[in-house]
């Protein structure tokens, strides 16, 4: 559910621009089910023949032109903000709050 929510949130602008609420309502369970299937198959890859076959088939389908995934912009912004806040807290606690 966590991964599905991250996918849904990342798709929100696309949804608003191109998909109706009814289309998103139909798409969301497909995304959740595909994620659940992939996670299950990856977890059971070594112990379950169906998972082994499914994962290997999916991996063969990945096109060469796909770029490597990267962290979302929202998450990168959150990390940057938290790091800045942490540095500021460290400066305050060390008594160098006014120093650059």
DSSP state, residue 68:
P
Distance CA 98, CA 100 (A): 7
In this prediction, what percent of the chain has a pLDDT beyond 90? 91
Is the model's pLDDT at 95 over the cut of 80? no
Q: d(Cα 9, Cα 2) in Å, to the nearest integer? A: 11
Domain layout of the chain by residue ranges: 2-66, 70-100
- Scored b (16 or more CB within 10 A) or e, 27-39 reads ebeebbeebeeee
Strands (E), 27-99: none
Which has more pLDDT, 97 or 39? 39
């Amino acid at each position: 559910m966590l991964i599905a929510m991250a996918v849904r949130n990342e798709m929100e602008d696309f949804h608003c621009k191109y998909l109706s609420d009814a289309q998103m309502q139909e798409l969301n369970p497909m995304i959740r089910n595909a994620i659940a299937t992939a996670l299950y198959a990856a977890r059971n890859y070594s112990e379950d023949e169906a998972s082994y076959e499914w994962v290997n088939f999916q991996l063969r389908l990945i096109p060469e032109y796909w770029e490597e995934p990267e962290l979302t912009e929202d998450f990168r912004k959150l990390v940057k903000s938290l790091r800045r806040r942490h540095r500021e807290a460290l400066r305050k606690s060390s008594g160098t709050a006014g120093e650059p």
